[in-house]
């Protein structure tokens, strides 16, 4: 059971944690070093009538803690949120933590060539989402749940993978290409859905404060599609930000 006059915020252990802490600091939260375990008490910095308890959690667990109101507020990516199927509110989208969610395969492969096989195996850290995706398209695919999908493909465990694209260079180095852009994952502030009035007002104030201090979004991640003409020669993400094929698709959050 949580304390009455405190509002707990669960921050995820992820690559965006420093940016998250920085944004909270900009909002007036003296966020301490979160490498030490436990709850860090922060006396009401936004004058909302609640003190805050900030703590760090494994990124996939944040939704569960918030859904069960152990933490009132948390931060989670829509990829993991969708996978955990946690029923929470998502009132704020952070400008960072936006990654393309892609279906990638070794260079030369296409959806047609893969689906012509009697059985394809797809590696992914998002088995639930991927299973639904392929079932929806009527493709018979065996879904292999792994945390490192590139290695799974390199060692022959799978024919392709569905994952976030965080580093296009690594994808090219392994001679993989994006077969399809499936959408974008976004980082969201998540809130327990059974908030009582006063607590909800405090969370609204927090959301407003975070909106005021949203940093500029980072540059879009280049998506290396299987297009032989430019890939070997031009690396646009290193130079000018040339729009890549498919980048004009409607932003479709995965969550």
Partner 1 sequence: MLDHQFVTPALDRSVSLRRQITTQAMQIFAGWGYREIQIPLLEHFDSLKSGLDEDQIARSFRFVDRAGNLMVLRPDVTPAVAKTYAYQLRSAPLPLRVSYSNKVVRIERAFVGAQLESYQVGLELIGAEGLVADVEVLLIVLELLERLGLKRFQINLADHKAASLLLSATGAPSRFRDDVEDAILARDPDEVRSILNGLGTRTPIVEAIAVMASLEGGLQKIDLIERLLPNEVALKKRLDYLRKLEQAMADLGYGEQVRVDLGEIDGPGYYTGIGFSVVAEGAGRRLARGGRYDELIGLFGQSTAAVGFSFSLEAVVELLHPQAGSSASRRQPGDAVSIDPKDPVAGLRIALERRRQNLPTRVVVQSGDKRDKP
* CA distance linking residue 123 with residue 104, whole number of Å: 10
What Å distances lie between residue 220 and 132, 134, 216, 244, CA to CA? 27, 27, 12, 10
Q: Of residues 162, 195, 210, 221, which one binds partner 1 by CB under 8 A?
A: 195
Applying CB under 8 A, does 4 fall inside the site for partner 1? yes
Residue 17 Cβ vs partner 1, minimum distance, rounded to whole Å: 22
Size of the site for partner 1 (CB under 8 A): 36
Per-residue interface string for the shown chain with partner 1, residues 170-189, x marking contact by CB under 8 A: ----------------x-x-
Applying CB under 8 A, does 253 fall inside the site for partner 1? yes
Applying CB under 8 A, does 202 fall inside the site for partner 1? no
- 241 C-beta neighbours (distance < 10 Å), count: 11
Task: For partner 1, give the closer residue by CB, 46 or 157.
Answer: 46
Applying CB under 8 A, does 251 fall inside the site for partner 1? yes
Applying CB under 8 A, does 100 fall inside the site for partner 1? no
Tokens coding 219: 């540059």
Applying CB under 8 A, does 101 fall inside the site for partner 1? no
- Which letter, b or e, does each residue of 96-134 get, where b requires 16 or more Cβ atoms within 10 Å of its Cβ? bbbbbbbbbbeeebeeeebeeeeebbbbbbbbebbbebb
């Amino acid at each position: 059971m949580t304390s009455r006059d405190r509002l707990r915020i669960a921050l995820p252990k992820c690559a965006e944690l420093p940016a998250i802490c920085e944004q909270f600091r900009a909002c007036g939260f003296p966020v301490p070093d979160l490498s030490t375990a436990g709850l860090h008490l922060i006396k009401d910095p936004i004058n909302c009538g609640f003190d805050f308890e900030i703590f760090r959690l494994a990124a996939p667990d944040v939704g569960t803690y918030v859904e069960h109101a152990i933490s009132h507020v948390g931060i989670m990516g829509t990829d993991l949120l969708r996978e955990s199927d946690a029923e929470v509110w998502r009132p704020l989208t952070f400008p960072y933590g936006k990654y393309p969610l892609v279906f990638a395969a070794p260079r030369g492969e296409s959806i047609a060539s893969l689906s012509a096989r009697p059985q394809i195996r797809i590696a992914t850290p998002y088995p639930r989402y991927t299973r639904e995706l392929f079932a929806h398209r009527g493709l018979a695919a065996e879904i292999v749940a792994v945390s490192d999908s590139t290695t799974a493909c390199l060692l022959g465990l799978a024919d392709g993978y569905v994952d976030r694209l965080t580093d296009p260079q690594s994808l090219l180095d392994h001679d993989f290409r994006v077969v399809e852009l499936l959408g974008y994952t976004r980082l969201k502030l998540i809130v327990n859905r059974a908030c009582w009035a006063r607590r909800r007002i405090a969370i609204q104030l927090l959301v407003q404060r975070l909106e005021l201090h949203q940093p500029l979004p980072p540059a879009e991640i280049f998506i290396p599609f299987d297009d032989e003409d430019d890939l070997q020669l031009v690396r646009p993400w290193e130079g000018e930000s040339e729009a890549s094929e498919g980048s004009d698709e409607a932003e479709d959050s995965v969550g």
